[in-house]
Amino acid sequence: MNTIERRQFLKSMGIAGGGVLLASSPWFSAFADEIKTVGSKARIGIIGPGSRGQHLMSFLVKNPKVEIVAVCDVFQPSVDEALKMTPKAKVYTDYKKLLEDKNVDAVVIATPLHKHYHMVMDAFDAGKHVFCEKSIAYSMAETHSIYQKYKASNRVFFVGQQRLFDPRYIKAVEMVHSGELGEISGIRNFWHRNSDWRREIPNNATDKQINWRLYKDCSRGIMTELACHQLQIGTWAMQEIPNKVMGHGAITFWKEKREVYDNASCIYMFENGVKMNFDSVLSNKFYGLEEQILCSKGTIEPEKSKYYFEEIPAAPAFLQMINDFENAIFGTLPFAGTSWVPETANSNEGQYILDEKSIGDGTSLMLAAFAESVISGKQPPKIAEESYYATQLSLLGHQAMEEEKMLVFPDKFKIDYLNHKSIGKII
Amino acid sequence: MQYTHKSINGSSLFYAWFQAMHTRIDVLMYANHSEIILISIAKKIKIEIERLEKLANRFNQNSELSQLNSNAFEKSMPLSNELYQIIEECIQYKDTTLGFFDITVNSANNFTEGISNINLDKVNQTIRFLHPDVQLDLSGFIKGYALREIKQILLNANIKDALVNIGNSSVLAIGNHPHGKGWKINSNQKDISKECELHNQCLTTSGNTNNTKWPIQKPMTRKVIENYPMLSVITEDPATGEVLSKALYTANKKEKLEILNHLKGQIIHFN
């Protein structure tokens, strides 16, 4: 997506160029200098160009402001695939050597979770800007150290929480913050699949290299791979960090060669008693995934891109007019007809959050924002903090399941964000 | 009542919606008023509509109208000033619409002589039915009357630009759209050529569809009209629009012209 297309798209959603977008999604300030940065390039090194890394690269190579100058992996097939996209990139097998490369401004880290910590810390030490795939790290202590390192680094730090850039989610949260759906009463997140997550192992690889998500010492499973995305929606919508969590996890169906849960439930509690649930079952995919934000006047389902009012729905024609208001459009209201009767509205099918067809899941915009930030050297507000708590809440939920206890968010891992205050200064 | 509010450059665009009169109500206001003031105006409108429902809903046993329908054959029934005036106005429409608008159209046993069997006493402000089958039905009038009252509420609150919709069939447009002159309204089909512009006017639509719970009948024969396309009228007064749209829907071409000689309105065909 180029600059003009991006601007046009955001404008068509009614969230570009105004205070509304920046109020609910301040990280979009990354695009503030995008006209000035035309002609500049963010020189990026990819650490871990496996399947996820290649997916990220597929967006980066289309961005004229990005040059992928290096790739690093010990697994040659991944390097070969990466070079098909970026043939001129320098190849490394040791990420520390890549970090020494003066031609690299920033790194994209898409390695297994347990490898993030040292790579991110070393990258900041080497003066690089960092984009790290979610979750940030394997433990709460590591995640906290990374955040402290970032704050002291004067470098840009992004995490792969792409919902922060997904137009459906941006608009959904904007609607919640506007109050038009009333007060948030609860948040129900679920992410169900019917698969064991197992990938085929090539001849020259080990199971752990490929299926690291299934090993306890590499991953926290469902929580760090799935919940991380959804819990972030809760804090974004509530503008608050939940203080307690309890949960239970088990291996119930996929019992072979698996160390992480395939069945997990957590309940997070906010100060006012509102609860955020997370449920995941990996042996049934009927309900798929969704983040249901339950409000006193309506419900919003950003993944479906729909919202539903509790009583009669708003008239689409009138809502369209409200949306057109900012764009100075003198539109027609197409509603005249014979009497509307409630019998015709027995099923509440909801309204679409966006009129426009969505342009993907936000990954493209997120990476474009990262490139802009690398070039400008400016960290957009709140994006690191939203990502920080997405990881920490996932990890705390995992710990609650492991210990089968209700856990309070530890003071030592609090940072200055929303209702949390850090207990110490960053060195 | 639910609402949404958007403020730009000191002006507010406020939209509230709720269910009443067995249909949906949409109230859109564009003004320099604060959100709190606009909420209070919308609430006032809702209260007014609920008040009128209690006055004139024939399905509500406790409404004043239901009390008349139950007792006015047995004895003279005192009327509130407002209901007296409404009934008096509606009886007059019987003549001006050549009998095509008749508030006794739903009398029992297909009785067709309802209006001539009503004794309205102006001095004592009472009503008496002279035949046991007479029943009054104000549902073909009350939405327009409600819009007339709402218009006054809006003007009293210094709202100069507004759009009020009762069930899609009765629309009141005051002043202008935030970005244009008047208000452009269309039927559900998005065909620009069929749109109409309202300038301090009302658009009232009548027609029988599969969803119509109480279909329009021709008062003289009590026959339900089928297969007629819906008909809309633009009028200055919303209550007149309500009367006209019902009357014109069942009248033939010649009768339509004659009715329009008595009551001012412009016919619109959306389909």
Confidence of residue B223 (pLDDT cuts 50, 70, 90): confident
Cβ within 8 Å of residue B80, ≥6 positions away: B55, B64
Q: Which residue has the tokens 């001849």?
A: A203
pLDDT tens profile B85-103: 999 999 999 999 999 999 9
Scanning A145-174 for CB atoms below 8 A from B yields none
Q: Which residues are CB-neighbours of A99 under 8 A, at least 6 positions away?
A: A45, A107, A122, A123, A126, A128
Output the pLDDT for position A346.
46
B169, B177, B195 ranked by CB distance to A337: nearest:
B169
- State how far residue A335 is from chain B, nearest Cα, in angstroms: 5
**Is A326 an 8 Å CB contact of chain B?**
yes
Residues of B in contact with A319 (CB under 8 A): 4, 15
Q: Which residues does chain A have within 8 Å of residue B208's beta carbon, measured at their own beta carbons?
A: 338
A338 with B213: Cβ contact below 8 A: no
Name every residue whose Cβ is closer than 8 Å to that of residue A158 and which is 6 or more positions away in sequence. A130, A131, A132, A366, A369, A370, A373, A383, A384, A387
The DSSP letter of residue B218 is E
- Do residues A267 and A246 make contact, with C-beta atoms less than 8 angstroms apart? yes
Q: Which residues contact A237 (CB under 8 A, 6 or more apart)?
A: A172, A173, A176, A177, A184, A187, A293
Contact of A87 with chain B, judged by CB distance below 8 Å, is answered with no
Cβ proximity of B77 and B239 under 8 Å: no
Contact flag B179-A322 (C-beta cutoff 8 Å): no
**Distances from the Cα of A282 to the Cα of A222, A285, A289, angstroms:** 9, 7, 11
Quick one: pLDDT at residue A13?
A: 55
Measured distance CA(A124)–CA(A151) in Å, rounded: 10
Q: How far apart are CA A119 and CA A109, in angstroms?
A: 8
pLDDT of A337-381, one tens digit each? Answer: 777 665 555 466 777 887 655 667 899 999 999 999 999 999 999
Residue A346 touches partner B, C-beta closer than 8 Å: no
Q: What is the pLDDT of residue A8?
A: 64
Buried b (16+ CB within 10 A) or exposed e, A24-34: bbebbbbbeeb
Residues A314, B2: C-beta atoms closer than 8 Å: yes
Nearest by CB to residue B206, choosing from A312, A314, A338, is A338
CB–CB contacts below 8 A, A to B: 130
Chain A residues near residue B2 by CB distance under 8 angstroms: 180, 297-298, 309-311, 314
Closest approach of A404 to chain B, Cα-based (Å): 42
Token duo for residue B74: 């047995």
B3 min Cα distance to partner chain A (Å): 7
Of B6, B19, B212, the CB nearest to A322: B6
Closest residue, chain B, to A177 (C-alpha): B4
What secondary structure letter does DSSP report for A407?
Answer: E
> A332–B192: do the CB atoms touch at under 8 Å?
yes
ipTM passes above 0.90: no
Strands (E) located in A79-140: 90-92, 106-109, 129-132
Average pLDDT over residues A158-178: 92
* Contact assessment for residue A415 and residue A267, using Cβ atoms and an 8 Å cutoff: no
**B255 token code pair:** 């009768």
Give me the residues paired with residue B9 across strands: none
The CA distance from A374 to B192, in Å, is: 48
- Locate A140 and state its tokens: 């709460």
Q: How far apart are CA A99 and CA A105, in angstroms?
A: 9
What are the chain B neighbours of A344 within 8 Å (beta carbons)?
A: 211
Q: What is the pLDDT of residues A282-303, one digit of tens each?
A: 999 999 999 999 999 899 999 9
Instruction: Kindly provide the b/e burial profile for residues A267-302, where b requires at least 16 CB atoms within 10 angstroms of the residue's own CB.
Output: bbbbeeebbbbbbbbbeeeeeebbbbbbbebbbbbb
pLDDT tens string B226-255: 777 788 999 999 999 999 999 998 888 899
Nearest to A312 among B13, B19, B232 (CB): B19
Contact (CB<8Å) A338/B26: no
Which are the contacts of B165, defined by CB distance < 8 A and separation ≥ 6? A315, A318, A335, B24, B25, B26, B27, B171, B172
Asked if the Cβ–Cβ distance from B17 to A314 is below 8 Å, we say yes
The fraction of chain B above a pLDDT of 90, given in percent, is 61
Q: Is A287 on the interface with B (CB under 8 A)?
A: no
The crossing angle, in degrees rounded to 10, of helices A167-178 and A228-238 is 30
The minimal CB distance from B168 to the residues A178, A311, A335 is found for A335
Cα distance from A312 to chain B (closest Cα, Å)? 7
CB contact under 8 A, A322 and B4: yes
Count helices and strands in chain A by DSSP H and E runs: 14, 16
pLDDT above 70 covers a percentage of chain A that reads 91
Does A314 contact B15 at a Cβ distance shorter than 8 Å? Answer: yes
CB contact under 8 A, A338 and B169: yes
A332:B195 CB<8 A: yes
Among A244, A295, A243, A266, which residue's Cα sits nearest to residue A418?
Answer: A243
Provide the 3-class DSSP secondary structure of residue B62: coil
Identify whether A25 is preceded by a cis peptide bond (ω within 30 of 0): no
Q: Which two tokens stand for residue B217?
A: 């009948």
pLDDT band of residue A20 (cuts 50, 70, 90) is low
Which residue in chain B is spatially nearest to A330 when comparing CA positions? B179
Per the CB < 8 A criterion, the answer to whether A322 and A331 are in contact is no
Beta carbons within 10 angstroms of residue B179's beta carbon? 14
Residues 6 or more apart whose Cβ sits within 8 Å of residue B85 = none
Q: Note whether A315 contacts B: Cβ–Cβ < 8 A.
A: yes
A135, pLDDT greater than 90: yes
Nearest chain B residue to A320 by CA distance is B15
* Residue A414 DSSP one-character state: -
**How far is the C-alpha of A386 from the C-alpha of A233, rounded, in Å?**
9
Q: Any CB–CB contact under 8 A between A39 and chain B?
A: no
pLDDT in tens, A71-116: 999 999 999 999 999 999 999 999 999 999 999 999 999 999 999 9
Mean pLDDT calculated for residue range A218-226 = 97
What local confidence, expressed as pLDDT, does residue A316 receive?
A: 79
Write out chain B residues lying below 8 Å of A336, CB-based. 168-169, 171, 185-188, 203, 205, 232, 270
Q: Which residues contact A386 (CB under 8 A, 6 or more apart)?
A: A27, A161, A164, A232, A235, A236
Residues of chain B in contact with residue A326, where contact means CB-CB under 8 angstroms, are 6, 8
Q: With an 8 Å Cβ cutoff, is A347 touching chain B?
A: no
Between CA B166 and CA B18 the distance in angstroms is: 10
Q: What is the pLDDT of residue B144?
A: 95
Burial class (CB in 10 A: 0-12, 13-18, 19+), B213: exposed
> Is the model more confident about A264 or about A335?
A264
Give the three-class secondary structure for A78.
helix
CB atoms B23 and A326 under 8 Å: no
B196: closest chain A residue by CA = A332
